[in-house]
């Protein structure tokens, strides 16, 4: 009685929906956890501004955009220095070394400085709370994409629980590690936004296609989008899909509908693009473009570039496993989120 026509039977959907909503709820950080993270941020901000008096310090990533999942999020901190330009990676690396020494001296644990990374970063742990922190320098695009994601989150209340479930699934199934050829949390968030934009009745608009009310330029990139969240809050009302239907649609899309040889996912457009249009048709150096997810602002950045043939097969196997469980299993949740 369960066929693959893009829908699941309504009766099992209701049960599944209640269970998923409960799980998503339990994944949301508590007020105490949020307060502890903000306290850690303020402490780090004080350390940084004591050393760099003219600097601004920003919080970005999931703690700032409302898409964090308990026990598996880090604190993303950006140190903004006026004297370093957006494309000065060497300059950022030198600052990272200084920040690493500063954090070491302040008693942070497990300090690891990566001054030569594409985005130079200092990683450490706040000893008493165990909060993991990443400090980057002049990572302004990340601060702006954090605002974009926060605005999407504020427009559509189903985005945060969908993201929580997908991030939890990806972590459990060991497909959330860009250093090992799978996808970053940020990439999974873009995939969730894209899904909501491209439902038969869209649940999210493409904010970069609306008349811009927010504008910033970072190096060569112009970041423009509509940030009138208040007036867009009812946008998804005509779409009445439940959380379970959206979770099913997410996995069904990546298992059976996405065309891996032609398609590029673009939340900027709110639609698929063709790889030809981006010139992402062949491998250049380490950029393979086997799974293509366009960054909303840094348009040459394919978030799927870390994926190779072997890890694409792993990802596709996991998407298919999830979709098949949702379609066929009586009670799919334990298996769906089982540790790999």
Q: How far apart are CA 231 and CA 228, in angstroms?
A: 6
Select from 188, 186, 153, 195 the least CA-distant residue to 173. 188
Contact 68, 62 (CB under 8 A): yes
Q: Which is nearer to ligand CTP, 70 or 257 (CB)?
A: 70
Per CB under 5 A, which region of 75-83, 122-130, 201-209, 281-289 contacts Mg ion?
A: 75-83
Of Mg ion, ligand CTP, none, which one sits near residue 208, judging by CB under 5 to 8 A according to partner kind?
none
Per CB under 6 A, which region of 87-95, 181-189, 195-203, 250-258 contacts ligand CTP?
A: 181-189
Does position 59 interact with ligand CTP (CB under 6 A)? The reply is no
Does position 62 interact with ligand CTP (CB under 6 A)? The reply is yes
Q: How far apart are CA 92 and CA 127, in angstroms?
A: 26
Does position 129 interact with ligand CTP (CB under 6 A)? The reply is no
Does position 74 interact with ligand CTP (CB under 6 A)? The reply is yes
Q: How far apart are CA 105 and CA 11, in angstroms?
A: 59
Of ligand CTP, Mg ion, none, which one sits near residue 324, judging by CB under 5 to 8 A according to partner kind?
none
Does position 177 interact with Mg ion (CB under 5 A)? The reply is no
Does position 192 interact with ligand CTP (CB under 6 A)? The reply is no
Q: How far apart are CA 222 and CA 215, in angstroms?
A: 7
Look up residue 212 and give its two tokens.
């811009």
Residue choice 59, 67, 96, 226 for contact with ligand CTP (CB under 6 A):
67
Of ligand CTP, Mg ion, none, which one sits near residue 111, judging by CB under 5 to 8 A according to partner kind?
none
Per CB under 5 A, which region of 76-84, 101-109, 299-307, 332-340 contacts Mg ion?
A: 76-84
Site of interaction with ligand CTP (CB under 6 A):
60-62, 67-69, 72-74, 76, 141-142, 145-146, 184-186, 189, 303
């Amino acid at each position: 009685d369960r066929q693959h026509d893009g829908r699941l039977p309504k009766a099992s959907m209701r049960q599944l929906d209640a269970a998923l909503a409960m799980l998503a709820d339990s994944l949301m950080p508590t007020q105490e956890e949020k307060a502890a993270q903000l306290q850690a941020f303020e402490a780090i901000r004080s350390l940084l501004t004591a050393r760099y008096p003219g600097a601004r310090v920003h919080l970005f990533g999931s703690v700032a955009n409302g898409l964090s999942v308990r026990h598996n999020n880090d604190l993303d901190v950006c140190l903004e220095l006026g004297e370093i330009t957006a494309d000065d990676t060497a300059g950022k690396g030198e600052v990272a070394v200084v920040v690493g020494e500063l954090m070491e001296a302040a008693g942070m644990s497990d300090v690891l400085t990566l001054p030569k990374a594409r985005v130079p970063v200092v990683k450490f742990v706040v000893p008493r709370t165990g909060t993991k922190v990443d400090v980057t320098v002049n990572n302004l695009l990340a601060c702006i994409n954090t605002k974009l994601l926060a605005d999407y989150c504020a427009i559509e209340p189903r985005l945060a629980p969908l993201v929580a479930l997908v991030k939890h699934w990806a972590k459990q199934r060991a497909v959330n590690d860009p250093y090992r050829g799978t996808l970053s949390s940020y990439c999974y968030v873009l995939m969730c936004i894209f899904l909501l934009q491209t439902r038969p009745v869209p649940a999210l608009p493409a904010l970069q296609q609306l008349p811009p009310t927010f504008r910033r330029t970072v190096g060569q990139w112009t970041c423009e989008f509509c940030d009138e969240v208040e007036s867009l809050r009812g946008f998804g009302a005509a779409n009445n899909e439940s959380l379970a239907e959206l979770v099913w649609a997410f996995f069904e899309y990546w298992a059976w509908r996405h065309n891996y040889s032609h398609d590029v996912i673009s939340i900027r457009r709110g639609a698929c693009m063709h790889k030809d249009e981006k010139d992402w048709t062949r491998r250049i150096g380490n950029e393979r473009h086997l799974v293509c997810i366009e960054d909303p602002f840094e348009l040459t950045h394919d978030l799927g570039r870390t994926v190779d043939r072997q890890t694409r097969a792993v990802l596709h196997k996991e998407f298919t496993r999830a979709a098949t469980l949702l379609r066929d299993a009586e009670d799919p949740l334990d298996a769906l989120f089982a540790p790999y």
